[in-house]
Amino acid sequence: MPSLTSKIISGHKYYYARVCKRVGGKPKIVQTVYLGTVESLMARAQGTPSSATHKEIHVAEFGGFAAIFQMAERLRLVQTIDQHAPKRGQGPSVGQYMLLAAINRALCPSSKAMIGEWFAETSGPRLTGIHPKQLSSQAFWNHMDRIKRPALIRIENDLMARLLDEFKLDLNCLLYDATNFYTYIDTTTKGELARRGHNKQKRNDLRQVSLGMMTTTDFHIPLLHMVYAGNVADSTQFGSVIETLVRRYRALSRACDQITLVFDKGNNSADNLEEFEKTRLHFVGSLKLRECPELLAIPMRKYRRLTTEGLEDVSVYRTRREALGTERTVIITHNENLLCGQLQGIGHNLAKCRGELLDLQHSLRRWAIGKTKSGKRPTLVGARKKIDKILSREYMKQLLKVSIKAYGTTLQLTYRFDPDALLKLTRTTLGKTILFTDNHEWTDEQVVLAYRGQYHIEHAFREMKHPHFLGWNPRFHWTDQKIRVHAFYCVVALTLVSLLRRELAGKGLIIGTEPLLKQLTGIREVMTVQPCRDGAKLNLSCDLTHMNEPQQTLYDLLKLDQLRPS
């Protein structure tokens, strides 16, 4: 029902009309209309003419903002953040600032200085009652400072509990993986998080921040994330993940009595797996191929081909052996699709290596016959370093036999491809993955499918590196505290969008993140407003632009009409 309310902004009182409806059995503000000051209300009531006679048309993005805003309401995101990072009731709350930061990350990642401009072109001001001028970069920084590290942990704990209660997530298999994001933070800038390390985007020259995340296999919804220094090994950090998971196990076990964590071989260590022995948690992981030559030597005739749908190209050999200090169930898989992909990659790398070796060979010959006189004469040590760099691609040192010899001051390079080495590699290594688990009662199919779920979290990390949706960048923070808050609302953005995809899938619509957000952001509302003499704008009408069929389907399935003005 409509009601009248007021706000005091910069010492002046302004009045708003709000419409409240019951949505999902709970009262919710679905429309906020700015009315103006008491003077303007009296002038209009007395029929005093306005100095402005023209109308204005305002077009705003509605679909994407409204859908994510609605999901955040179900998650009680703002209330949860405000509970652990309170402030006096002046202006938007900390939770509201973080919500807008998360929606911005999901729909149009931009700097804090640009969020206000982006927000003004969305339905956000109408849905939240927040004025774009309140969203300065300094205001965001001030509110980010209010969320300290202990508060972030408590907020994530409460959000996880809400996810389990409201959305009934499948916790039988949880996925853990880590990635890193390079930064342009200066070398002299102090901080523990931004460090140089092995960067997965090949930017080892820059300082990086690492992010570990645990998600469900059910649309990779994050349940736990950790930001840590870019020079810390994944296996070292994984120990902290297990400790945190053990602390949260009681809450998780209420929703699922047997939880299995899936992780890749980069997190392996005997100490980490020893921690699992102290809990009721189970795991599925993988072993490094080079550490198990005796398993790779098992002939293919001893493998069993799987018949489950989606696994027809997979053959397995099952055994029990010691792995990282304790006897485990070990399953060696051979995947025809993986083999074909690896052979294709090897062919590509062979062509590149041969070309680079040929260029080096020609360069050494020109020096030998005196056609090159400028520059520094190549040395045997320098040439070997170049060869090592060329052969650094996977398997190239096994497949290309390279020899370089010195004859006086000249160098002679020869190389050849070894087909027998490729045959041996194909017979013993290519196409194979070695899995191990403490779920001894699981079938081969269950173990393989659980480990395959790892692609969900890898896909989530790729989405966080997307330039247009859900992007980690741009990121203009350099203090550890703000980097942690930045990671938090980036993970929140992923959570909200993943929940949207999950809800749509439950209603029969399977759609990827990029097409979902593209279609939603194409749903726009057109507002006709009448400027008033006091600077206020009186809403005359609010309509939607024409929607194509996918947009209309999303609009109906997500019930976005509940957020339209009545």
Q: Tokens at residue 99, please? A: 């919500």
On whether the pTM is more than 0.95, the answer is no
| Confidence at residue 52, expressed as pLDDT on a 0 to 100 scale | 44
Q: Tokens at residue 447, please? A: 């173990």
Cβ contacts of residue 291 below 8 Å, gap of 6+? none
| Confidence at residue 368, expressed as pLDDT on a 0 to 100 scale | 80
Give 560's DSSP letter. G
* Single-letter residue type at 152: L
Rounded to the nearest 10°, the torsion over CA 275, 278, 284, 286 is: 40
C-alpha span between 399 and 420 (Å, rounded): 9
Burial class (CB in 10 A: 0-12, 13-18, 19+), 96: buried
Q: Which of 42, 2, 5 is nearest to 129 (CA)?
A: 5
Torsion sign, CA atoms 363, 364, 370, 374:
positive
Cβ contacts of residue 133 below 8 Å, gap of 6+? 116
Rounded to the nearest 10°, the torsion over CA 163, 167, 173, 178 is: -40
* Single-letter residue type at 263: F
Helix ranges (H only) for 149-305 are: 149-167, 234-253, 270-277, 293-296
As a whole number of Å, the CA-based R_g of the chain is 30
Where are the domains positioned within the chain? 2-147+502-563, 291-440
Q: At what angle do helices 137-144 and 112-120 cross, to 10 degrees?
A: 120
| Confidence at residue 375, expressed as pLDDT on a 0 to 100 scale | 74
For 497-518, how does the pLDDT look when each residue is reduced to its tens digit (9 = 90+)?
999 999 999 999 999 999 999 9
Cβ contacts of residue 139 below 8 Å, gap of 6+? 91, 97
C-alpha span between 198 and 210 (Å, rounded): 10
Give 303's DSSP letter. -
Q: How many CB atoms lie within 10 A of CB 152?
A: 20
Cβ atoms of 74 and 533 within 8 Å: the answer is no
For 119-160, how does the pLDDT look when each residue is reduced to its tens digit (9 = 90+)?
999 999 989 989 999 999 999 999 999 999 999 999 999 999
Q: Show the low-confidence residues of the chain (pLDDT under 50).
A: 49-53
Burial class (CB in 10 A: 0-12, 13-18, 19+), 205: exposed
| Confidence at residue 244, expressed as pLDDT on a 0 to 100 scale | 78
SS3 content of the chain, % helix, strand, coil (to 5): 45, 25, 30
Q: Tokens at residue 60, please? A: 């705003």
Q: Where are the beta strands (DSSP E) in 37-185?
A: 56-61, 173-182
Give 121's DSSP letter. T
